[in-house]
Amino acid sequence: MGWQDILKLKITRGRKFGPQRIPTPRAKRRLQRKKAKEPTKLRENRQKYKNHPEKINQIIIDYFTMYNRRFGRNPTLQDIQNEEGRPLTVDEIESFKRYAQGR
């Protein structure tokens, strides 16, 4: 038993069987919270995010790093289109929006 466990327990004097360890109200609440959590919900959330990964195109990431190093700012969609010399695909535009939102 570590020192943290000792702090969680209140030691009282027992008459017949020696000192008894009684959990403090705070320790009781922690145990109730641990029991109340349902592990199935956590598993469902993990599976939901694994099944629907939102990947960001590497081109978008490269332009963001390049513009931040060169100019010290994030690129716009027009900047990327001018550099590429072609219109961006729908997937690349969505990736740009997600990546720009996270930065």
Q: Is the dihedral of CA 14, 15, 17, 18 positive or negative?
A: positive
Q: Could you tell me the two tokens for 14?
A: 């027992």
pLDDT at site 33: 76
Last residue within a domain, chosen from 51, 70, 90: 51
pLDDT at site 56: 87
- Residue-wise pLDDT for 67-91, tens only, equals 999 999 999 999 999 999 999 999 9
Say whether both 81 and 98 belong to one domain.
yes
Say whether both 9 and 47 belong to one domain.
yes
- Residue-wise pLDDT for 5-48, tens only, equals 655 555 555 555 656 666 678 877 877 777 666 556 666 666 66
Instruction: Say what angle helices 90-102 and 58-70 make with each other, to 10 degrees.
Output: 50
Say whether both 46 and 9 belong to one domain.
yes
The answer to whether the beta carbons of residues 99 and 88 sit under 8 Å apart is no
Domain containing 21: what range? 3-51
Rounded CA separation 21/26 (Å): 14
The answer to whether the beta carbons of residues 57 and 92 sit under 8 Å apart is yes
pLDDT higher than threshold 70 for residue 64: yes
Say whether both 38 and 63 belong to one domain.
no
Alpha helices by DSSP H, listed for the chain, are 3-8, 25-36, 39-51, 58-70, 77-84, 90-102
- Predicted TM-score of the model (pTM): 0.50
Say whether both 7 and 45 belong to one domain.
yes
Q: How many structural domains compose the chain?
A: 2
Say whether both 70 and 44 belong to one domain.
no
